[in-house]
Amino acid sequence: MDRKKALELVKIQLTEHRYKHTIGVMETAIQLARQYGADVKKAELAAIFHDYAKFRPKDEMKHIIIAEKMPADLLAYSSELWHAPVGAFLVAKEAGITDPEILDAIRYHTSGRAGMTPLEKIIYIADYIEPGRQFPGVDEVRELAETDLEQALVRSVQNSLVFLIKQNQPVYPQTLMTYNDLVTKRRIHLNE
């Protein structure tokens, strides 16, 4: 699917603010894909569609999670997590994108997962650091992303965990597994 068609499909699903965010994520993902040797076209499409389900009604997302036998524990955590796996399902169903790498990058852009692929890391980070984002810690992650995608990912997940803990929010177990996987692999790599 070409960029123009993808953006047309996404624009009708999003608010104007979220559409601008999506453009920022797309541009950031393209730059990161070039820098880190990932497939630029896949990064572009995953970025364009990453928030496809963001504004779907919660009842619809809940129904899809149950009907499609997605991890049931999702329902016990913030509904902010739901749009990623539901989005991957709807992008395949409604937009006809079936590439598993693109769909997984959409699916895991909020929670991460252990063993993330380069494309998944790029979409996660692009969503976190796109130019419209302004919150404590984002500038540090932007700087890290210029030279070390892995360290940028570790820092972004750390920041998210600290934010959730300070807000007395439960942390989705998959996000904890993401953090543990990243830190363990980094420790092994540094000790080699």
- What are the residue boundaries of the structural domains of the chain, listed by start? 3-135
| pLDDT tens track, the chain, 192 positions | 999 999 999 999 999 999 999 999 999 999 999 999 999 999 999 999 999 999 999 999 999 999 999 998 999 999 999 999 999 999 999 999 999 999 999 999 999 999 999 999 999 999 999 999 999 999 999 999 999 999 999 999 999 999 999 999 999 999 999 999 999 987 776 666
Please tell me the predicted confidence (pLDDT) of residue 190: 66
Please tell me the predicted confidence (pLDDT) of residue 186: 74
Please tell me the predicted confidence (pLDDT) of residue 7: 97
Please tell me the predicted confidence (pLDDT) of residue 82: 97
Q: Which CATH architecture has domain 3-135?
A: Orthogonal Bundle (1.10)
What's the CA gap between 71 and 81, in Å, rounded?
A: 12
The token pair that represents 188 in the structure block: 């092994």
Please tell me the predicted confidence (pLDDT) of residue 185: 86
The token pair that represents 138 in the structure block: 């984002």
SS3 per residue for the chain? CCHHHHHHHHHCCCCHHHHHHHHHHHHHHHHHHHHHCCCHHHHHHHHHHCCCCCCCCHHHHHHHHHHCCCCHHHHHCCHHHCHHHHHHHHHHHHHCCCCHHHHHHHHCCCCCCCCCCHHHHHHHHHHHHCCCCCCCCHHHHHHHHHHCHHHHHHHHHHHHHHHHHHCCCCCCHHHHHHHHHHHHHHHHHHHC
